[in-house]
Amino acid sequence: MSETPDFSDLTAPDLAAFEALAMAALETIPEPYRGAALRVLIRVEDFAAPDMLSDLEMEDPFELTGLYDGIPLTEKSVMDQPMGPDTIWLFRRPILDEWADRGNVSLGEMVAHVLVHELAHHFGWSDDDIARIDPWWE
């Protein structure tokens, strides 16, 4: 009979750990996308701000794991006045919740999946484009 593992000293990964997972995932993005992906600001928060949820007509903060805030590359114009950097928001608590519900992927895979989905908005990728980078999309 196997011994029960001792998890008493484990803690949930903090915001910095999530950022490290996201940065590691960015490094795996294939060229020619990696360079442009590395120029997108990554922000990690526990939850989306109330105004973000309101803009998306969402009430439950656990429903939003990530958000792209910017103008997709396919829609940018030299005439656009940048309002700020293109930003991908990753929301730690909803990602942890979905990761726990799935139970069959690593946390790094879960963060990468959310990140790739948000990068798809930035690059204007099709579902086929996403599937080439993130097999979960298939």
Among residues 60, 124, 57, 52, the alpha carbon closest in space to that of 90 is found at 52
CATH 3.30.2010.20 fits 15-71+84-137, yes or no: yes
CA distance 29 to 118: 13
The pLDDT tens digits of the residues spanning 10-44 come to 888 999 999 999 999 999 888 888 898 998 999 99
Domain residue spans of the chain: 15-71+84-137
CA distance 70 to 33: 17
The pLDDT tens digits of the residues spanning 102-137 come to 989 999 999 999 999 999 988 888 777 777 777 665
The pLDDT tens digits of the residues spanning 58-68 come to 999 999 999 99
Burial class (CB in 10 A: 0-12, 13-18, 19+), 5: exposed
